[in-house]
């Protein structure tokens, strides 16, 4: 007697077939896409969600390692590099298709001079990832993008098939025009063969300020992004 005959017989005899219970448990203890806090608060959740135990990950703009302060590094193999130690994120010393994950956090705001971005300049000094001056032919926001683009091409080279690429970025206003950096990166990276997996929004604690203002033209940005991609081996 096959399963269909058994179910039919049970119905005829007035016996209701027992349904299989769904797997999993009810919970609200989940990784969420938006977070108020700091990089070191949200980053462990991203790593736990996307990097398997024992995975080999390269932080190519390591700086002072702020991202990793609350990550259990015993469960992964972390490779640290930074321009301050002589390793450019656009020319990595790793074999092709050798890494499970690459983390990228380059300077994500152009520096026009004066006091316009003085707080961000301090941030760049803290992370030690602005030493190159970008070494690009472009200026302002286009120079920021070129650094992201070139670093992504190198990340694709060293990542395994389905490897994870985690990118920190922030939108900015340049020449009084909105530049949605996270959108520009997603659109360009998909051309390289990266597939968007997740977008995390990080809202900073407290209120950002400026040294002086005459008339505000745009909302002051107090959020940034962690973009998560995987490498599509077909491209």
- How many C-beta atoms lie closer than 10 Å to residue 91's C-beta? 9
DSSP lists the bridge partners of residue 56 as 77
Residues 6+ apart with CB under 8 A from 197: 50, 164, 228, 229, 230
Q: Does the pLDDT value for residue 128 go beyond 90?
A: no
The two structure tokens encoding residue 147: 């650094």
Q: Is the pLDDT of residue 161 over 50?
A: yes
Q: DSSP readout, 40-53?
A: HHHHHHHHHHHS-T
pTM of the model as a whole: 0.80
Question: CB-based burial of residue 72 (10 Å sphere; 0-12 exposed, 13-18 middle, 19+ buried)?
Answer: exposed
Number of CB atoms found within 10 A of residue 228's CB: 20
pLDDT at 118: 43
- For strands 172-174 and 223-231, give the pairing: unpaired
137: tokens are: 């032919």
**Whether the predicted pLDDT of 134 surpasses 90:** no
Say whether pLDDT at 79 is over 70. yes
- Is the per-residue pLDDT at 208 higher than 80? no
Residue 136: per-residue pLDDT: 56
Instruction: Give the pLDDT confidence score for residue 12 in this predicted structure.
Output: 58
Count of Cβ atoms closer than 10 Å to residue 145 Cβ: 20
The rounded radius of gyration (Å) of the Cα atoms in the chain is 23
Examine the pLDDT at 80 and tell me if it is beyond 90: yes
**pLDDT (0 to 100) of residue 137:** 63
Residue predicted with more confidence, 133 or 38? 38
At residue 176 the predicted structure's pLDDT band, cuts being 50, 70 and 90, is confident
**Which 8-state DSSP code applies to residue 148?**
H
């Amino acid at each position: 007697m096959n399963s269909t005959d058994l179910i039919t017989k049970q119905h005829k005899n007035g016996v209701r077939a027992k349904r299989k219970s769904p797997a999993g448990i009810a919970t609200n203890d989940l990784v969420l896409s938006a977070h108020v806090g700091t990089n070191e608060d949200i980053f462990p959740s991203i790593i736990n969600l996307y990097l398997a135990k024992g995975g080999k990950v390269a932080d190519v703009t390591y700086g002072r390692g702020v991202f990793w302060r609350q990550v259990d590094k015993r469960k992964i193999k972390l490779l640290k590099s930074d321009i301050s130690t002589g390793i450019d994120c656009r020319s990595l010393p790793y074999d092709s298709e050798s890494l499970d994950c690459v983390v990228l956090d380059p300077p994500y705001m152009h520096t026009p001079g004066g006091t316009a971005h003085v707080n961000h300049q301090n941030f760049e000094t803290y992370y030690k990832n602005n030493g190159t001056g970008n070494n690009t032919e472009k200026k302002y926001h286009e120079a920021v993008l070129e650094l992201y683009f070139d670093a992504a091409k190198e990340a694709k080279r060293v990542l395994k098939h389905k490897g994870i690429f985690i990118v920190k970025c922030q939108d900015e206003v340049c020449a009084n025009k909105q530049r949605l950096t996270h959108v520009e990166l997603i659109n360009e990276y998909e051309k390289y063969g990266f597939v968007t997996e997740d977008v995390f929004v990080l809202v900073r604690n407290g209120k950002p300020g400026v040294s002086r203002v005459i008339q505000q033209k745009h909302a002051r940005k107090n959020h940034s992004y962690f973009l998560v991609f995987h490498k599509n081996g077909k491209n």
